[in-house]
Amino acid sequence: MDEKRIASRSRVLKTAFIVVSDKAPKLECTVRNISETGAALQLSTPYGIPATFDVVIDGARHHCHSMWRTDTKIGVRFD
């Protein structure tokens, strides 16, 4: 498989939170890999998560855009 990422990702296992809006509850997820430009997030289901949202990793909030999805993962690009 050809690597299409701008930056290589490092494998991690960190707890993070998806923020759809400031009024909605945060959704817990796990960061499986991360780079300066994006990450792979694992969660119970990506159903109902919009194409753009914020993710809080290690206290830092990143605005991101969904690039791909599976039944339990979302690949995101940081904006």
pLDDT tens-digit profile of 24-40?
Answer: 999 999 999 999 999 99
pLDDT tens-digit profile of 44-58?
Answer: 999 999 999 999 999
pTM, entire model: 0.86
Q: Residue 13 has what pLDDT?
A: 94
Encoded tokens for 37: 């430009």
Q: Residue 2 has what pLDDT?
A: 45
From CA 33, how far away is CA 76, in angstroms rounded? Answer: 11
Residue 20 vs residue 1, higher pLDDT: 20
Q: What is the mean pLDDT of residues 5-20?
A: 85
